[in-house]
Structure 1
Amino acid sequence: MSFKNIANIFGNCKPVMSSKEVNHGDIDPGLIPSKLTVVVGDSSFLEEKSLLVQSSDYFQALYRSGMKECYQEEIHLHCLQARGFVIALAVLRGHQPVLNADDIVEAIECASFLQISPLTKYLSNYMDSDNCLLIYHTAGTYGLMELYYKAAQFIRDMYNDFEREVKITLPIELVSYIESLTPSTFVAVGAHVTCADEKTVHAAARTVCRLDENANSWEVLTDLPLAASTSLAGVTVLDNMLYIVGGVHGVRKEVVDVSFRFDVIKNTWTKITSPNQLRYNFSLIGLDGKLYAIGGEYNRVAMSSVESYDVQKNAWEFVAHLPRPGAGVACAKALGRIFVCLWKPMETSDIYEYLPNKDNWQIVTTLIRKQSYGHCMVGHRDNLYIMRNGPSDDFLRCLMECYNLTTGLWTSLPGHYANSKGSLFTAVVRGDSALTLNRSMTLEYVVDGKTWKPRRQMKGFPRSGSVWTFLLRLPGKNKE
């Protein structure tokens, strides 16, 4: 979406109004205008003051200050470009603007000057291998440190691809900061039930392992707590913390009612509150300081209920139910948004997005393929990749479809993908790569819009049964 198109959508560019300054000591606070004209360059914008105050630390501080500006009907923002402010307004109103290089620079300037957290978040989610160096350098220039750090982490994860370009284009201090960070590590854990005591035969195998890519070997990162189960549990990473929620034990699939969080920096496990509704075989995903336990089963009955866990409050609450019951549904994040894939006989896979601000599920698109359903979904850039079984439930011939969130178009990736023992169903995206594994090998693919190309093969994960995979940023010699 161009600058001109965004402005046309809003239709709010108006002639500059004259400023009406008053003595705030002579005015009743109830008379403070609810709308504000913001003048940026030669453009002016008539906006709801509440929108600006809720979204911008700058405006929030201004209207708590008690200064005369609190009562003005017009505010001039100097040293800003109108394009950056228009992009900020687009993001605040829930749009997903497409940004070019100039847009990104001016959006970062606006996010920094006005301290607009939603715009910073949008830029973080918009980052990819084409714009990460620009975002990193610009965020450092304007002191937008949250975005600066996330861009540095993104580049560090792809440093083998970027090193030459980084050292040519960036100042030495920015290069040094990138190199001081630790890259994300590929981590896996097998399906284990709870353990009665340390003498149990399978206790030694109850470990979370990391892949040392340089040595091509798997190493133990930590032991699972004795009461933890990863069998049909919810396992995910949020803000570099590993969460294990629920799970089952016993032949009757009795639900485990304890949940855990692993702090990789402190190397400690902590119990957390379990969901209000006990469940297993559900999807667990984290976003913006919250976990979402989606669907699942209880007493062998599929559920549509969804719960959200607030990390800061250590509390769960029910949110909008799925449109229909689903167990083990494919779930992914893309552009900082949550998507799920639900089956609907016959041969229909519906993609829904969860909208946290509205607390509802919105249909995005539908895929219909003969004798096939989406079993795994991963996000890369603005693409959702859906892995589905081959004809006649042939899981050894995995087929892949790509849905582009920007264009709304489906693309079938050419050929079949070997999916021996479900390796593709464990795909984890890191930069422009996808890491998959099974007992035989760990395989890294290079991901682009239309193909997944094998890049390198490493040692397989020496565990049988289901496997959970994820990325963690482990502490290096200098803790970040």
Structure 2
Amino acid sequence: MSAEDAEDRGRPPRRPSAKLTVVVGDARFSEDKAFLVQSCDYFGALFRSGMKECRQDEVHLQGLGARGFLAALTASRGEFPDLDGLDDLVEAVECAAFLQAAPLARRLVDLVDSDNCLLMYRAAAAFGLDAVYRAAALFIRNVYADLEAEAKESLTPELIAYVESLTPSAFVAVGAHASCGADRPPLAASRTVCRLDESANVWKVLTELPPEASTSMAGVAVLDNRLYVVGGVHGPHKRATASSFCYSVDTDAWSRIPGLERPRRGLGLVGADGRLYAIGGECDRTATASVEAYDVEAASWAAAASLPRPAAAAACAKAAGRIFACLWKPTETTEIYEYVSRADEWRPVATLIRRRSYGHFLVGHRDDLYVVRNGPADDFLRCLVDCYNLRSGQWSSLPGHFANSKGALFTAAVRGDSLLTLSQSETQEFAVADRNWKPRRRMKGFPRSGSLWTFLLRLPDPRPAP
């Protein structure tokens, strides 16, 4: 260590100046220091280190690519970096790992698809980017039947072993049931959560709902491979309940979690970044704009920014790591809003106007939001689908229409590049590509009447461990 370095280490670190020039290869970037510290742990550690470099106005990053660094900056601003080429993805993975740039890592997780999952998996393993490594491995496991031969040609035995150690995401469903209450026993035959055994094409019971759990007009969502049932109705008068439950696949057990501050029914429920968001619904049979956020680690609910206006049964979804909700202005306007957690506010995203039709269900796949709406007037047996691309800000319509066989398109789960829909008569898988849905295969329907909830869970492998 030089005398100058020793002297520098003895001084308290200075506060970062307003701007820092970052030199990456032949490119120079002038950025606000506070922004860099907030976006990348690398810069946070640098400016806390007390070393000479933390007082310089120019920093050189050796061995990184300018395109990867630009992607990190773009993702940190909440925008979409241009990562269309495979080389761009590898450079971005390296940069995200070196800079410990969480926003870029989250964006890369969202970009894993059938065409790049093997490359992303290898790159994340090489550079030690854990979030992308696990996301790519889970993606490969879910589509392993299609990719096994290619995977065994391009992956090391160690990488293959990790993929094969994972369990694929199972398609799971539950019907709509009010809580039973203490005065009558649960109907165990119908109050069950079931999984589809796709190899045998048969539905099997996974677990039974707790007697006090309601899936009728409730919020149902999966977060970190746990199933949550929040609110809903109970009793013959269908009163709103605050009761909330969590199912752990690891312990095969239900537990009660704190109830909502305001009991509600007809709410939307979305999980993201360790929180559940209970969106809108009805309190005392009146639509509400209230939103509550449940912090899983703290096990507590807190108020979040309210919707722009009251809404019950609002269609909600997550896409590109962001939360969206559809609000109606019957009978022909659907407005999409995004919840921005860092600002705790709802921001308008897009508006869809279709004559005598509005969105009833929302599906997020990568950078696309699919609004599933009824046909003209009250033709609910004919579903039409419009797609809004978050990057381009453009609407497009899927060709033709989809038969809404008793609610099939009002519930769906995205697995890899597929969309699974469900009705009493059949389970249908669509391949999602180029903003279009193409029928891929049909399987057995769910033998329950009424509304359905569908979701994905990674279930423990029933085979005994070696």
Normalising TM by the smaller chain, what interval? Answer: over 0.9
1:47 corresponds in structure 2 to 31
Q: Does 1:281 align with 2:282?
A: no
Q: How many Å separate the matches in 1 of 2:402 and 2:257?
A: 39
The alpha-carbon deviation at position 32 of structure 1 amounts to 5.3
Q: Does 1:344 align with 2:329?
A: yes
The alpha-carbon deviation at position 335 of structure 1 amounts to 1.1
String of CA shifts for 1:349-407, please: whole Å, max 9, x gaps.
Answer: 11111111222222221111111111111112222111111122111111111222222
| 1:77 counterpart letter in structure 2 | L
2:253 corresponds in structure 1 to 268
Q: How many Å separate the matches in 2 of 1:198 and 1:301?
A: 28
Q: Superposition pairs for residues 219-234 of structure 1, below 5 Å? A: 219-234=204-219
2:73 corresponds in structure 1 to 89
1:360 corresponds in structure 2 to 345
Where does the alignment leave 5 or more consecutive residues of structure 1 unmatched? 1-19
Q: Does 1:372 align with 2:360?
A: no
The alpha-carbon deviation at position 76 of structure 1 amounts to 2.3
1:68 corresponds in structure 2 to 52
The alpha-carbon deviation at position 238 of structure 1 amounts to 0.6
Of the three residues 24, 33, 54, the one matched with 2:17 is 33
Equivalent position SS for 1:392: coil
Where does the alignment leave 5 or more consecutive residues of structure 2 unmatched? none
Of the three residues 182, 187, 195, the one matched with 2:167 is 182
| 2:113 counterpart letter in structure 1 | D
Distance change (3 Å), C-alpha of 1:269 and 1:392:
same
Q: How many Å separate the matches in 2 of 1:56 and 1:396?
A: 50
String of CA shifts for 1:322-347, please: whole Å, max 9, x gaps.
Answer: 11111111111111111111111341
The answer as to whether partners of 1:273 and 1:314 remain within 8 angstroms in 2 is yes
| 2:30 counterpart letter in structure 1 | L
The alpha-carbon deviation at position 75 of structure 1 amounts to 2.5
The answer as to whether partners of 2:316 and 2:362 remain within 8 angstroms in 1 is yes
Once the two structures are overlaid, the 10-residue window that deviates more, 236-245 or 195-204, is 195-204
The TM-score with structure 1 as length reference comes to: 0.91
The answer as to whether partners of 2:175 and 2:453 remain within 8 angstroms in 1 is yes
Distance change (3 Å), C-alpha of 1:361 and 1:210:
same
Equivalent position SS for 1:203: coil
1:383 corresponds in structure 2 to 368
The answer as to whether partners of 2:14 and 2:55 remain within 8 angstroms in 1 is no
Equivalent position SS for 2:264: coil
Q: Superposition pairs for residues 459-470 of structure 1, below 5 Å? A: 459-470=444-455
Q: How many Å separate the matches in 1 of 2:147 and 2:394?
A: 30
1:159 corresponds in structure 2 to 144
2:42 corresponds in structure 1 to 58
The answer as to whether partners of 1:446 and 1:452 remain within 8 angstroms in 2 is yes
The answer as to whether partners of 1:440 and 1:460 remain within 8 angstroms in 2 is yes
Q: How many Å separate the matches in 1 of 2:136 and 2:117?
A: 6
The TM-score with structure 2 as length reference comes to: 0.93
String of CA shifts for 1:180-206, please: whole Å, max 9, x gaps.
Answer: 211100001111222235972623421
The alpha-carbon deviation at position 420 of structure 1 amounts to 1.5
Q: Superposition pairs for residues 64-463 of structure 1, below 5 Å? A: 64-99=48-83, 100-196=85-181, 200=185, 202-463=187-448
The answer as to whether partners of 1:21 and 1:69 remain within 8 angstroms in 2 is no
Equivalent position SS for 1:276: coil
Equivalent position SS for 2:453: strand
| 1:172 counterpart letter in structure 2 | P
Root-mean-square deviation (Å) = 2.1
Distance change (3 Å), C-alpha of 1:160 and 1:394:
same
Distance change (3 Å), C-alpha of 1:403 and 1:46:
closer
Q: How many Å separate the matches in 2 of 1:31 and 1:359?
A: 28
Number of residue pairs matched by the alignment: 460
The answer as to whether partners of 1:21 and 1:72 remain within 8 angstroms in 2 is no
The answer as to whether partners of 2:368 and 2:435 remain within 8 angstroms in 1 is no
Sequence identity percentage? 59
Distance change (3 Å), C-alpha of 1:287 and 1:24:
same
Equivalent position SS for 2:424: coil
Distance change (3 Å), C-alpha of 1:339 and 1:79:
same
String of CA shifts for 1:12-68, please: whole Å, max 9, x gaps.
Answer: xxxxxxxx9783256454565354332222333333222222232322333333333
Q: How many Å separate the matches in 2 of 1:222 and 1:26?
A: 61
The answer as to whether partners of 1:383 and 1:449 remain within 8 angstroms in 2 is no
